[in-house]
Amino acid sequence: MIHVDKLTKFYGSFCAVDQIDLDVSRGEITGLLGPNGAGKTTTLRMLTGYLVPTSGSIRIKDLSLGDEALAVKRLIGYLPESAPLYHNILVYDYLDYIARIRGLDGRQKIGRIHELVDICGLSGIMHKNIGELSKGLKQRVGLAHAMMGDPEILVLDEPTSGLDPNQIVEIRDIIRAFGREKTIILSTHILSEAEATCDRIVIIDKGRIVADGSTESLKQGAGGERTIHLTLLNADFDAANRALGALDGVSRVEQMDTPDSGELRLKIFAGGPDRLRERIYACVKQTDWVMVEFTQEAKSLEKIFRDLTREV
Amino acid sequence: MTRTFQIFKKELRDYFVSPIAYIVICIFLLITGWFFFSTFFIFNQANLRTFFTLLPLTFSFVIPAITMRLFAEELHSGSYEMLLTLPVRLSDIVLGKFLAGAAFAAIMLVPTLVYALSISFIGDLDWGPVAGGYIGAVLLGAAYSAVGVFASSLTKNQIVAFITGMVICFALTLFDKVVFFFPPQVVDVFTHIAAGYHFENISKGILDTRDVLYFASVIFAFLYGAHLVMQEKR
């Protein structure tokens, strides 16, 4: 759907985006993640044709953004950060204007505006001036703007920044509903946001892609070592250490502070094969220990993010 | 073409939903009306010559005030990003905004037709120069709008856009009047690039293709300039 090849953008001598390669397939919700100033917005602006890349190419559905800009722009709906809409125009008039520019007219136009009013929840504010709307409502009008042409690709720059938790959930639901059939690229620096909305996460730092994959594969892939928490009753550390330490794939067993309740809390470090948890369970089953807690600590996205984007 | 028309329509409507349009039109009518009628009965001639002589000067600061927001406001608020990523060409945007400015200038002239009408009741008005004058005024308004669009594309700050536009318009108006101490050849060149000179020709009632071509060239040059500036910003 989207094919980006060695995309580079210089502002003067400052390199904002450095040779990014990216392929996005149809129906994927991709999250661009990165600290402020990493090049997320610049990348999105180039994808939508607002900025011209210094070098590299963007192809969307086999159309080159350089040569067939108009055709490509028809396929894309874009919502820039904090929805910079005109402020001296009524919501209805604005949507009407966007529909006409997108080539809709008459019955078709009215139909599309009605659909968007339902999807984005605009029914109560159509007669209001955009300048008087709250941030969350503005963002919804912005979403309607982006979705007007029924685009195949939706590009959203920090769609939930600055919104309150309820508004975030609303916007997220709209995005998710839309993303069932369409391709969405969104940028954010809020990790839980990316985790909640995206199928795939691309982490950008200093203009380069430093990680790319599904949320799951990022969590497991990065670092390699996993930690398993195990809490046992009726067990002593020496015996447990001996039994569990002998398992294939376990590199180390550590005892954590033991509360008076008689629980033995262990931390098992493992780097090895996948089915380790099954074997730990089988091992415990052979004894008369009682298993009260057994969890695998997923490396959190926060940690991956910090590891990858920390200043060296 | 439809895209240009939609942008034109939106920009023109923007003028009239805010008070700016009415304020500017009032100021324009007050100034032209005052300068025209304060000497009208002294000269005691049934023509609009004083009105048209002063028009280039009045336009030089009124039109940049109209056009200053066209790009500067959008660049400042960021809405330009939303506009440019719609399926429109940059040329559609430049042209639509220019046409809105030029149309506003033409609309601003409509109330002044009252001057011509009222004079025709009290004296024997020669409609030839009046028609020429209005054609010239529309062309002049369009040319200065193009200058204003160019000035507005240079900056995010509307005041800077206004002053830049005003300086260029004043220069175009006054070129032929301030160079009398230069050698004759130079004066000739400056006279021909001055908008004031060409406007005077038309407002005498002589519609010469050279003068029309001059205004068309000014419009094209400044719109092309604005296009280049906006292209460079990407």
* Distance of alpha carbon B205 from alpha carbon B116, whole angstroms: 15
Q: Which among A51, A36, A42, A35 is positioned nearest to A16, based on CA atoms? A: A42
Q: Output the six-digit token pair for A72.
A: 């490509």
**Among candidates A51, A74, A88 on the partner chain, residue whose Cβ is nearest the Cβ of B87:** A74
| pLDDT-wise least confident of A71-75, A123-127, A259-263, B10-14 | A259-263
Q: Please name each of the domains of chain A with its CATH number.
A: 2-221 (3.40.50.300), 226-299 (3.30.70.1340)
Interface test with A, best of B73, B86, B231 (most A CBs within 10 A): B86
Q: Average pLDDT, stretch A245-269? A: 77
Task: Identify which of B170, B165, B132 has the alpha carbon closest to the alpha carbon of residue B151.
Answer: B165
Q: What is the rounded CA–CA span in Å between residue A133 and residue A34?
A: 29
Q: What is the pLDDT of residue A258?
A: 66
Place of tokens 């506009």: B83
CA distance A15 to A12: 8
- pLDDT tier at B166, thresholds 50, 70, 90: very high
Q: Does the distance separating the beta carbons of A86 and B79 come in below 8 Å?
A: yes
Whole-angstrom Cα distance, residue A163 to residue A190?
Answer: 12
Q: Say if residue B220's pLDDT is above 90.
A: yes
Which residues lie closer than 8 Å to A241 by C-beta, 6 or more apart?
A253, A255
pLDDT at A223 exceeding the cut of 70: no
Highest mean pLDDT among A175-179, B18-22, B148-152: B148-152
- Pairs of CB atoms within 8 A across A/B: 62
Say if the Cβ atoms of B6 and A89 lie within 8 Å: no
Q: Find residues 74-103 of chain B whose CB sits inside 8 Å of chain A.
A: 77-79, 81-82, 84-89
Residue-level pLDDT at A253: 83
Chain A's closest residue to B7, CA to CA, is A101
A125-161 confidence digits (pLDDT tens): 888 999 898 888 888 899 899 988 888 899 998 888 7
> What mean pLDDT is predicted for residues A72-86?
89
Tell me, what's the pLDDT at A222? 52
Which chain A residues are closer than 8 Å to B2 by Cβ?
100, 103
Supply the pTM of this predicted model: 0.83
Residue pair A15/A168 in contact by the 8 Å Cβ criterion: no
**Count of domains for chain B:** 1
Report chain B's terminal Cα–Cα distance, integer Å.
23
| Residue B7 in contact with partner chain A when CB distance is under 8 A | yes
Whole-number pLDDT of residue A312: 52
Domain that holds residue B157: 2-232
Band of pLDDT at residue A298, cut at 50, 70 and 90: low
Residue A184 sits at φ, ψ, to 5 deg, of: -130, 135
Judged by average pLDDT, the poorest of A57-66, A168-177, A286-295, B43-52 is B43-52
Model ipTM value: 0.85
Shortest CA gap A85–chain B (Å): 5
DSSP chain B: -HHHHHHHHHHHHHHHHSHHHHHHHHHHHHHHHHHHHHHHHHHT-SS-HHHHHHHHHHHHHHHHHHHTHHHHHHHHHSHHHHHHTSS--HHHHHHHHHHHHHHHHHHHHGGGHHHHHHHHHHS---HHHHHHHHHHHHHHHHHHHHHHHHHHHT-S-HHHHHHHHHHHHHHHHHHHHH-TTS-HHHHHHHHHH-HHHHHHHHHTT---HHHHHHHHHHHHHHHHHHHHHHHHT-
User: What is residue A56's predicted lDDT score, i.e. its pLDDT?
Assistant: 86
| pLDDT tens figures, B4-32 | 999 999 999 988 888 888 998 999 999 98
pLDDT digit string (tens) for B64-116?
999 999 999 999 998 999 999 999 999 999 999 999 999 999 999 999 998 88
pLDDT of amino acid A260: 67
* pLDDT for position A119: 84
Contact A70 B10 (CB under 8 A): no
Please provide the average confidence, as pLDDT, over all residues in chain A.
Answer: 83
Segment A295-301 mean pLDDT? 69
Q: Rounded mean pLDDT of A11-39?
A: 85
Chain A residues with beta carbon closer than 8 angstroms to that of B10: 97
Would you state the torsion angle of the CA atoms of residues B9, A120, A178, B89, taken in this order, to the nearest 10 degrees? 10
pLDDT at A34 over 70: yes
Contact B86 A87 (CB under 8 A): no
Looking at residue B130, its pLDDT comes to 86
